[in-house]
Amino acid sequence: MNIHVAQTEPVIELRRVHRFFNQTKAVNDVSFDVYRGQVFGFIGPNGAGKTTTMRILATLDSPSYGDALVDGFSVVNDPDLVRRRLGFMPDGSSLYANMNCVEYLDFFARSYGLVGRERNDALRRTLSFTGLDKIASKSITGLSKGMRQRLSLGRAMIHRPSVLILDEPANGLDPRARIELRHLIRQLASEGTTVLVSSHILTELAEMCDQVGIIERGKLLAVGSVAEIYNSMQAASQVRMRLLGRVEELLGVLTTHEEVSSVLRKGDWIQLELRGDDAAQASLLRWIVSSGFDVLEYVSHRESLEDVFMKVTTGAVQ
């Protein structure tokens, strides 16, 4: 993950965004910030409001109330300025079958007003970054799903936007193509591009995202890193340890420890649930070792993004 310098102004700002379709509150009072060079994962069940939020950011829809800003420009008041700073890759974006890769990218480079050397440099840079330079003259109809996704990403980034919005970019990709796409996204972030990405593949998001936002029925339920969200829920952490003797002695001591909610023995292993965050776990291990117990293994189970998602959401639809 990137180590970010302290930032004063977010690149993406959602300010109490609402979007209603008759009685359906597709987006209901959503606010969050994303800073330069961050990858922000937007997750939620189908119909949660992810795509509607992304379409509002991409100026393809307008909020019923509230506002969203990209690089300080409002999607409501300055949509043209937002579009110059943003690239959008929708889910299932269509490609023009009668073109090859370079013709397709050249069409969008021209659409963004790139001319002369600037356009040629943009084409060369984008083809090289996406790995399409070796098949630049290949017809789009002959591309694999992974190459098509790379071409869609190239179209979104051809004008070097400061923000990329990617809606389900890994949908339908094989494992290798997903890994390669994840590396491209992280590389873009390391170069200062701010990326907002949605996906149903939560393990993918957990590996590439600095922050996540969990949305359900139009409401933003949680935002932050996976660890921050889980710690805010004040849930117990699971810890397993293996000792060199004195297992029963430590077991008896742990049953009276104020931070330990449950403890049991499994052979040479002790398994417990501990209230508190990572600092509480480190403190417990320090205390056990300083008390003279020989710890051979100490394993902490870190909750995954899937665990957090299941705890935060209810599965409700609208």
Residue 221 · residue 262 · CB < 8 Å? no
DSSP-derived secondary structure for 61-117: S--SEEEEEETTEETTT-HHHHHHHEEEE-TT----TTSBHHHHHHHHHHHTT--HH
Residue 202 DSSP one-character state: H
Q: How many CB atoms sit inside 10 A of residue 160's CB?
A: 15
Give residue-wise pLDDT tens across range 264-299.
998 888 988 887 777 888 888 998 999 999 999 998
Inform me whether the pLDDT recorded for 128 exceeds 70. yes
Task: Classify 17 as helix, strand or coil.
Answer: strand
CA–CA distance, 63 with 221 (Å, rounded to integer): 19
Give residue-wise pLDDT tens across range 47-68.
899 999 999 999 999 999 999 9
> Domains of the chain (ranges plus CATH)?
12-231 (3.40.50.300), 236-302 (3.30.70.920)
pLDDT at 61 (0 to 100): 96
Structure tokens at 125: 């840079």
Nearest one of 207, 262, 273, 215 to 43, comparing CA atoms: 215
pLDDT at 318 (0 to 100): 63
Structure tokens at 59: 């100026």
Inform me whether the pLDDT recorded for 6 exceeds 50. no
Nearest one of 128, 147, 11 to 69, comparing CA atoms: 11
pLDDT at 231 (0 to 100): 67
Give residue-wise pLDDT tens across range 166-177.
999 988 888 898
**How many angstroms separate the Cα of 124 from the Cα of each of 16, 75, 136, 219?**
40, 30, 10, 42
* Least confident range of 16-20, 56-60, 192-196, 235-239: 235-239
Tell me the mean pLDDT in the region 2-10.
59
Nearest one of 77, 113, 87, 109 to 11, comparing CA atoms: 87
Average pLDDT of the chain to the nearest whole number: 88
Give residue-wise pLDDT tens across range 217-255.
999 998 988 777 766 665 667 888 999 888 999 998 888
pTM, rounded to two decimals: 0.78
Q: Which strands, in side-by-side order, build the sheet including 12-21?
A: 24-34, 12-21, 65-70, 73-74
